[in-house]
Amino acid sequence: MKVEPLTEDRFTEFVRLIRALAEYESLPAPDSAALDRLRGDAFAPRPRFEAALAVDDTGQAVGYAIWFETYSSFLARPTMYLEDLFVLERARGSGAGRLLFDHVRALGDERGCGRMDWQVLDWNTSARQFYDRRGARWLQDWLTYRIDY
């Protein structure tokens, strides 16, 4: 198992994994316009996000991570924000999730980030346990709010 950066020639595999995450979370998959934006944002001169694939020994992508940086005014340092971390069910327990998580965490450290943040659905016990094992803590006093455009 290894981590590889997302490349244009692996974009179709990336989309397959995003659709698998949507199915897992019972959410609608991105439509064709969203996929066009995703491709454009991933490979723009100034990409809006970064992504990597977990690739098994057969060369098959079995997981992915998407991340970007935000900024903390109180720390006066960037924050690594992990938007998605997903591994296909058949590859869970293979180390793919750990490799992706450690990859993003190490990038944050290399880039001088003060912390790494992400969100987990409350019903996703296995993900919560995965993060607990890595020393993460649940910020119970923070509530997520959203405005959709």
**Rounded to an integer, what distance in angstroms lies between the CA atom of residue 49 and that of residue 41?**
7
Alpha-carbon distances, residue 58 vs 62, 89, 110 (angstroms):
10, 17, 30
Q: Which of 24, 64, 71, 131 is catalytic?
A: 131
Catalytic residue list contains 24: no
CA neighbor of 51 nearest in space, from 89, 75, 81, 72: 81
Catalytic residues: 131
